[in-house]
Amino acid sequence: MKTLNRRDFGVDLGLALAAAILLPATSARADDMDVHIDNFVFQPAELKIKIGTTVTWTNRDDIPHTVVSAGKFRSKTLDTDDKFSFTFTNAGDYKYFCSLHPHMTGMIKVE
């Protein structure tokens, strides 16, 4: 009765390592944030970030999802383990949802 999530820790570690090597220590990317989609839920559902932060969504469900904020950003369809990143350059509240499963909603607060 449990849905399956795929978590490829090997890949995540590899990416983290690559980022550590390629980016200078002072990079703003140090503050970059992740949102995971697990069991049809954006986690964390609400995120407070600073201007310039890049948020990366990763779909860890067996079902495709999207990340859409009307007029602001729109991901392609994210299949299992696909990622979408967006850099927030303006302050404000960004309410977003999955256009396939509109009951899935989230919020990014940029200050």
Residue numbers of the site for another protein (CB under 8 A)?
Answer: 1-4, 39-41, 61-64, 68, 70, 76-77, 79-80, 95-97, 99-105
In the three-class reduction of DSSP (H, G, I as helix; E, B as strand; rest coil), residue 33 is classed as strand
Measured from the CB atom, the residue of 84 and 97 that comes closer to another protein is 97
| Tokens linked to 19 | 């980022």
Beta bridge partners of 110: 49, 92
Q: Tell me which residues in 65-84 interact with Cu ion (CB under 5 A).
A: 65
The piece of 21-29, 42-50, 79-87, 91-99 that touches Cu ion (CB under 5 A) is 91-99
Measured from the CB atom, the residue of 29 and 44 that comes closer to another protein is 44
Amino acid identity of residue 51, one-letter, is I
Q: Do residues 101 and 65 touch, judged by C-beta distance below 8 A? A: yes
